[in-house]
Structure 1
Amino acid sequence: MLLRRIALVLAGMMALSVVLVFILRWVDPPTSAFMIQRWITAHSEPGDPPYVYHEWADWDAIPAAVKLAVIAAEDQRFPGHGGFDTIEIERAWERYRAGERLRGASTISQQTAKNLFLWSGRDPIRKGLEVWYTLLIETLWPKERILEVYLNIAQLSPDTFGVGAASWRYFDRPVMALSSSDAALIAAVLPNPNIYRLETPSATVQRRATWIRRQMAQLGGVSYLNKL
């Protein structure tokens, strides 16, 4: 009886997650799990509100250069994989076996699933849920929607989420006015926005932005987005 109840609860949770992801294909999420966590944490820290800066930017308002820069920086095989980059996973595993630190190989799809629905950390439960939600969004959303949501919820500073808010806070203009250089700087801080800062880009961030601009050109420029 207990196992049956557990199975029913799990089945219900899975069904609810499917419905939620299906709805979010068309409904813009007003917040994310990571934003909520930041808002809660900030209440225990000194400082006044707002604790979270976020402004939704529609797909058509986001410059192609911003979309391309994030793909070039984070997931160059994004148009072609089904949510998981097996090539990068194999490379990460080979480097680990060779004695290097195990590095993540998360795709944009995985990061979207994690940031939108889950919490930070590496525990097995979270990783399992990340796989589930990644499969859901890859099945139920087109690539353009996955990238649109990611660009709107990605953390770009300790309290700034999404390119809409970042463009006003750090470039003093709307997202549609961002240049290719601005786009590369935004993408450059994504690996660790608590260390890499847009307000005072370090030499490391500047070098990474230069590398991203080269990668954007090597991918063929904004025409690469036609593969989505």
Structure 2
Amino acid sequence: MPRLIFRIFKLAFLLFVGLSLLGVLFYRFVRPPFTWLMIERGFQQKARGKEWKIDKQWVSFDDISDNMKRAAVAAEDQTFLEHHGFDFHAIEKAIEKNAHSKKLIGGSTISQQVAKNVFLWDGRSLLRKGFEAYFTVLIEVFWSKKRIMEIYLNEIEMGDGIYGIEAASQAYFHKPASKLTKHEAAAIAVIFPSPLKWSATHPTRYLRHRQYLIMKNMRRLGPLDF
């Protein structure tokens, strides 16, 4: 009996590794059609009596304003082009802050966020974090930084039923993502942590201050060599 259980676990493990590798290699070339978060949000909308809404328009990396790429790095992961998926200094700082705060602060890199957004469910369990680390390693090995950023900006939630930078740019500023100015890109990047509560076009004083800091960091960043 123990041997049979071991074989079942071994088979399940090999199956998971094989399928996850295939999934990562597949999305290296193919656009992810949806994320689990989109499905979850859709059911939440239906439960509130609203229409199922997924406003999402894929745009290629070259059709996204350099200002938006720079704003994303400045706001979320300033060592994105240097690390291999994990910013241990940021994780250390997050752990230190969380020890003295009731509000949990994340230390996730853009690569970790893509791993979660594309392959996993929303949540903060240790199991999900473990899977997130696993998929982060895979995408860092098999995808380029350019591909990671392209998928990040096309799949991230940016409002109620709004996903990806093209849909967000049209919804907030009525223009394509390729035409976003520095100010507009920073305004969108500001709402990444809480897109259902915050607005890129109606910022609070706190968000305006964050926008100022992001623009300041944008100027400090060197060339983004993707």
Structures share fold, TM-score greater than 0.5? yes
Give the residue type in structure 2 aligned to 1:37.
Answer: E
Structure 1 window deviating more from structure 2 (21-30 vs 88-97): it is 88-97
Give the residue type in structure 1 aligned to 2:148.
Answer: I
Structure 1 window deviating more from structure 2 (120-129 vs 54-63): it is 120-129
Residue pair 1:157, 1:198 contacting (<8 A) in 2 also: no
Where does residue 32 of structure 1 map in the other structure? 35
Shift of 1:159: 1.5
Shift of 1:192: 1.0
Are positions 1:46 and 2:10 aligned together?
A: no
Q: Percent sequence identity over matched residues?
A: 38
Shift of 1:132: 0.8
Are positions 1:8 and 2:11 aligned together?
A: yes
Q: Secondary structure at the match of 2:47?
A: coil
Shift of 1:92: 2.3
Give the residue type in structure 2 aligned to 1:77.
Answer: T
1:63-78 alignment to 2 at 5 Å? 63-78=65-80
1:127-138 alignment to 2 at 5 Å? 127-138=129-140
Supply the distance in 2 between the matched residues of 1:17 and 1:199 (Cα, whole angstroms). Answer: 39
Q: 2:204 aligns with which of 196, 202, 205?
A: 202
Supply the distance in 2 between the matched residues of 1:56 and 1:7 (Cα, whole angstroms). Answer: 38
Structure 1 window deviating more from structure 2 (101-110 vs 88-97): it is 88-97
Q: Matched residue pairs, number?
A: 222
Where does residue 125 of structure 2 map in the other structure? 123
Give the superposed CA RMSD.
1.4
Where does residue 84 of structure 2 map in the other structure? 82
Q: Secondary structure at the match of 1:43?
A: helix
Unmatched segments (≥5 aa) in structure 1: none
Give the residue type in structure 2 aligned to 1:25.
Answer: R
Residue pair 2:45, 2:51 contacting (<8 A) in 1 also: no
Residue pair 2:169, 2:180 contacting (<8 A) in 1 also: yes
Tell me which stretches of 4 or more aligned residues in structure 1 moved more than 4 Å.
none
Q: Secondary structure at the match of 2:48?
A: coil
Shift of 1:105: 0.3
What TM-score does the superposition give when structure 2 sets the normalisation length? 0.93
Are positions 1:184 and 2:186 aligned together?
A: yes
Shift of 1:206: 1.6
What TM-score does the superposition give when structure 1 sets the normalisation length? 0.92
Unmatched segments (≥5 aa) in structure 2: none
Supply the distance in 2 between the matched residues of 1:64 and 1:197 (Cα, whole angstroms). Answer: 22
Shift of 1:200: 2.0
Supply the distance in 2 between the matched residues of 1:201 and 1:216 (Cα, whole angstroms). Answer: 19
